[in-house]
Amino acid sequence: MTTDDHQATMERTGEVEHGLDAGDFHEFIEWFEANPDDGMLEFRASGDTEAVANRTTATIGDWALGGDEMGDEREHVLEFGLPPELEEAMGYLEPTDRYEAIEGALAGLTACINGTIVWNAIREGIDVESVTTTVRAPVDLSMLFGIHDTDRADEMYGELEIDVDVTGDLTPEEQSAVRDYPKRSPVYTLVTLEQPNRPRVEFQTAA
């Protein structure tokens, strides 16, 4: 950040944009830039199966910042399953309407893109009023049900469709900048780039 940018940040302290103090927000970004290790985040989620197949109660709670544990009193509960029409077609005795795990991931993507655009608009002084993001994911469940093997994983999804509607009186230059913001989204990166890993599967004796 240049001296002029820093001065502009100081002048914006106390200016409220989208529910936050713009000056404090810029100072946080400065701190993060100067202390990248301390700013490293780790988010977590845990899911427990229920008695009915494909129904999971997931819990979001503790997280970490710079290696320090946070949020030991947080508890957000999410109940995953299927739309009732799918459960009925698959033989469920008591179909129940829940959101499907893919829908949960897509909802998280919309939230992350929205937040990314608003944060970066504040950072660059662009007057964005609101953002609505809609995501669609065509999916083929052949691999899930063992019809295809995992070597055909790249066939599971069609092209991800992401539509972003931004409200605000923006100049052409500002519009150009905002068009690039969704690619800064952490969840966009999570779902569009390879994240090499091997799930650790452990076994316990049933009670």
Decide if domain 100-194 falls under CATH 3.30.300.20: yes
- The CATH homologous superfamily to which domain 36-99 belongs is K homology (KH) domain (3.30.300.20)
d(CA 138, CA 74): 34
pLDDT of residue 12: 54
pLDDT of 10-66, one tens digit each?
Answer: 455 568 999 999 999 999 999 999 999 999 999 999 999 999 999 999 999 999 999
Same fold, 36-99 and 100-194: yes
* 137 in Cβ contact with 102 (< 8 Å): yes
Confidence (pTM) = 0.90
In angstroms, the Cα distances linking 140 to 56, 156, 175, 190 are: 21, 5, 35, 20
* 80 in Cβ contact with 56 (< 8 Å): yes
Mean confidence (pLDDT) of the chain: 93
> For the chain, which residues make up each domain, given as ranges?
1-34, 36-99, 100-194
Q: What percent of the chain has pLDDT over 70?
A: 93
* 175 in Cβ contact with 135 (< 8 Å): no
Block residue for tokens 């179909």: 95
